[in-house]
Amino acid sequence: MKIAIASGKGGTGKTTLSVNLAVFLSETYKTNNIVLIDLDVEEPNSGLFLNGKLISSESKYRMIPKWNPEKCTLCGNCQKVCNFHAVLKLGKKIAVFNELCHGCYACSELCPTGSLPMVKEKMGELKQFEVGNINFIESRLDIGQEQAVPLISQTIDFVENQFDDDSIFIYDSPPGTSCPVIEATKDADIVILITEPTPFGLHDLKLAIETMDELKQEYAVVINRANIGDDSVEKYCKERNIQIIAKIPNDRKIAEIYSKGELIYKQIPEMKEELKKIGKYIFEMKNGEKR
Amino acid sequence: MKEIVVISGKGGTGKTSITASFAYLGADNIVVADCDVDAADLHMLLEPDFAKSEDFYSGEIADINQDLCIKCGECANVCRFNAIPIIDGQFVVNQLNCEGCGYCARICPVNAITNLDNNVGKWFISTTKLNSIMVHARLGIGAENSGKLVAKVKNEAKRIALETKKDFVLVDGSPGIGCPVVSSLSGASFVVIVTEATVSGLHDMKRVYELVKKFNLKAGCIINKYDLNLDVSTEIKSFLKAENIIHIANLPYDESFTRAMVEGKTIVETKKDKNNNLKSIIIDSWNKIKEETN
């Protein structure tokens, strides 16, 4: 069972929900098959709320071409076949601009003399932690690496190989509606969209819903900071028959607990009540009572 | 002409609300660029008229002509992005996965594959409710945010600012540290980092500042919700000091920001006496930023 927690707008509570839900589920259902994965590789935050024990750490790489001048005839085919202008023939040299390369292999495989072998370039770090009986995976993009998608995709592969299919996977996804979010949510069984009841929240929720519809993905909504703004998110969901599974109250105390990197539900009973609703929703789906 | 870029690392720290306030304060001397093309919100506070709209094309996408295809599967073989699955016995392009590298089209033995221009969204030149010019965009659903649309928005804003002799281009950036952020940072005269006094606010601003440093840009910081956690605030301040980042202002935790947003207003437009303090801090911040760019 794969649950992706996403949102169009940033800062609406994706990480708060992901970490609180993961720990709540593992404690309440006494299960040891909860896997929490931080896929917001540009700015991974889940780990700040979890006191985990590091189990393993590995560098993650992407493949880019590297010029080997020995046999190169400077025919310029590499430059011709690169749609991203990442390979240029400059005088008597071939220059590769790593940050422009998408790793399609065309220049390398279509080079008549094999002068552009693909080599590994480090793009980030994947770490595995144990937090109580939760498995927590965090991937972190190196600063200066511009493309999040390859690291997100490798992280999902890692997780799927490492853990039982029967596990409950919680993906803390990146914000927005473009490629990184799509990569993080496309294989999920359900996407929980968390938003806040404000004009910005509603606007970005609509974008996120359009994206999920495009992916033909199932989704439900959680409202965070309920009552801080207006009722337009609720109205919108009602009109479109979108299920609102929980409403996390607006409370300065919650913001203060969050600011310290602590879990909300252990101090705020109302938060625990809302997590129970989400837990119930997830287990009903898992047991096939929904859909 | 100076270019001020507002970023945050973490989402939801108040970047757009603060940018909109600056846009209000600097109205007739500013061209605004909303470079958060992925989840653009600034228009809700500045009410642009979408007067000029243009499609934006970036890169290509493969298209297989089924009448010519001999089903040899070479295209799917060379594709590194799993973008050519077999559906109902036909090789088809998964548009969300296709990166537009064109490798498949090059090796297709019967030339059944063509590359089509990829429409990734729309961009607009508008007049706002403040009578200022705003350049903004809307990335298409599922389109790749490669930073090219961001660059387009920024460059148009710059061109207009130069032509109309405005002193500032004010850029609202996107969260994160990837392509769109890199693209919005390039050429900045001054970077404003809006963070919040939370462990994640601190963590994320440190990461995005690493990027700012790589570009050798001058930066300042606004600590939003500074009173939420005074220990973290202190930690942020020592980081600013150590890195020579200008501490522009502290803003208190205040739900008036949200109330103003619900009314479609920037905080500096609201009349309530209670907000005077927030208002004056933001006015001071804007003046400080203007001085720093001189």
Task: Give tens-digit pLDDT for B111-124.
Answer: 999 999 999 999 99
Do B137 and B17 sit in the same domain of this protein?
yes
Q: Using a CB–CB cutoff of 8 Å, tell me whether B85 touches chain A.
A: no
Element holding A55 (H helix, E strand): strand A53-65
Provide the shortest C-alpha distance from residue A289 to chain B (in Å). Answer: 30
Q: Nearest CB to B261: which of A43, A109, A198?
A: A198
Q: Which residues of B93-116 are buried (b: 16+ CB within 10 A; e: fewer)?
A: bebbbbbbbbbbbbbbeeebbebe
With CB atoms and an 8 Å threshold, state whether B44 touches A200.
yes
Residue B188 lies in a domain: yes
* Domains identified in chain B, total number: 2
Mean pLDDT of chain B: 95
The tens digit of pLDDT for each residue in B157-187 reads 999 999 999 999 999 999 999 999 999 998 9
CA distance B201 to B176: 12
B226: which residues sit within 8 A by CB, 6+ positions away? B197, B233, B250, B251, B252, B253
Asked if the C-beta of A45 comes within 8 angstroms of chain B's C-beta atoms, the answer is yes
ipTM over 0.95: no
pLDDT of residue B236: 98
Asked if B255 and A228 count as a contact pair (C-beta separation under 8 A), the reply is yes
pLDDT at residue A233 above 60? yes
Distance between CA atoms of B200 and A12, rounded to whole angstroms? Answer: 13
Q: What domains are defined for chain A? A: 2-61+124-286 (3.40.50.300), 67-116 (3.30.70.20)
Cα separation, A274 vs B3, in Å, equals 45
- Answer yes or no: do B143 and B186 share one domain: yes
Q: Which residues pair with A58 in a beta bridge?
A: A126
- Check whether residue B82 and residue B220 sit in a common domain: no
Phi and psi dihedrals of A56, rounded to 5? Answer: -155, 160
Question: pLDDT for A2-59, tens place per residue?
Answer: 999 999 999 999 999 999 999 999 999 888 899 999 999 999 999 999 999 999 999 9
B102: closest CA of chain A, how far (Å):
7
Q: What is the pLDDT of residues B59-104, one digit of tens each?
A: 999 999 999 999 999 999 999 999 999 999 999 999 988 999 999 9
Interchain CB distance below 8 Å, A45 and B60: no
* Whether residue B286 sits in one domain with residue B252: yes
- B54 lies in a domain? no
Say how far apart CA A115 and CA A96 lie, in whole Å: 12
Chain B CB within 8 Å of residue A218 CB: no
A20 and A264 Cβ atoms separated by less than 8 Å: yes
Asked if residue B69 is part of any domain, the answer here is yes
Residue A92's identity, in one-letter code, is K
Which amino acid makes up residue B36? D
The reply to whether B205 and B274 lie within a common domain is yes
Pick from A83, A203, A255: CB nearest B102:
A83
DSSP B100-148: ---HHHHH-TT--EEEEEEEEEEEEEEE-TTS-EEEEEEEPTT----SH
CB contact under 8 A, B176 and A229: no
Task: Compute the nearest-CA separation of B43 from chain A (Å).
Answer: 10
Give pLDDT tens digits for B9-66: 999 999 999 999 999 999 889 999 999 999 999 999 999 999 999 999 999 999 999 9
| Six-digit token string for B104 | 């498949």
Type of residue found at A194: I
Distances (CA, A) of B212 to B6, B93, B158: 12, 38, 20
- What's the confidence (pLDDT) of residue B239? 98
Residues B33 and B172 in one domain: yes
d(CA B240, CA B221): 8
Query: Do residues B192 and B219 make contact, with C-beta atoms less than 8 angstroms apart?
Result: yes
The C-alpha atoms of residue A189 and residue A170 are separated, in whole angstroms, by 11
- Asked if residue B239 belongs to a domain, the reply is yes
Asked if B170 and B269 sit in the same domain, the reply is yes
The answer to whether B39 and A177 have CB atoms below 8 angstroms apart is: yes
Are residue B191 and residue B275 in the same domain, yes or no? yes
Residue B232 and residue B286 in one domain:
yes
**C-alpha distances in angstroms, A226 versus A195, A259, B32, B172?**
9, 19, 31, 27
Residues 6+ positions from A235 with CB-CB distance below 8 Å: none
Q: Residue B70: which CATH number?
A: 3.30.70.20
The stretches of A82-148 forming alpha helices (DSSP H) are: 106-109
Contacts of B98 (CB under 8 A, 6+ apart): B61, B62, B81, B83
Nearest residue of A to residue B139 by CA position? Answer: A178
Tell me the per-residue pLDDT of A71-93, one tens digit each, with 9 for 90 and over. Answer: 999 999 999 999 999 999 999 99
Dihedral (CA of B56, B58, B62, B67) sign? positive
Residue at B53 is within a domain:
no
Hey, are the CB atoms on A259 and B229 less than 8 Å from each other? yes
Cβ contact (<8 Å) for A141 and B174? no
Residue type, A183: E
Q: Give the domain-ending residue among B95, B119, B143.
A: B119
Domain assignment of residue B175, yes or no: yes
Assess whether B30 and B64 both reside in one domain.
no
Share of chain B above pLDDT 70, in %: 98
Q: How many whole angstroms separate alpha carbon B193 and alpha carbon B195? A: 6
Contact A9 B210 (CB under 8 A): no
**Nearest C-alpha of chain B: how many angstroms from A273?**
24
Do residue B201 and residue B75 come from a single domain?
no
B52: in domain: no
Give phi and psi for A203, each to the nearest 5. Answer: -55, -45
Q: Where are the alpha helices (DSSP H) in A169-268?
A: 179-185, 199-214, 232-239, 252-259
Q: Return the DSSP state at B68.
A: T
What does DSSP assign to residue A241? Answer: T
pLDDT band at B141 (very low <50, low <70, confident <90, very high): confident
Residues of chain B neighbouring A259 (CB-CB closer than 8 A): 196-199, 201, 225, 228-229, 232
Look at residue A30 in the predicted model and tell me its pLDDT.
82
Q: Which CATH number characterizes residue B186's domain?
A: 3.40.50.300
Window 115-174 of A, Cβ < 8 Å to B: 141, 143-148, 174
CB B124, CB B52: distance < 8 Å:
yes
Q: Is A137 exposed, middle or buried (0-12, 13-18, 19+ CB in 10 A)?
A: buried
Would you say A225 and A197 are in contact if contact means Cβ atoms under 8 Å apart?
A: yes
Chain A residues closer than 8 Å to B211 by CB: 143-144
Asked, for residue B238, whether it belongs to a domain, the answer is: yes
Q: How confident is the model at residue A160 (pLDDT cuts 50, 70, 90)?
A: very high
Side chain identity at residue A253, one-letter code: K
Nearest chain A residue to B179, by CA: A146
Do B152 and B285 fall into the same domain?
yes
The residue segments making up the domain with residue B176 are 2-47+128-293
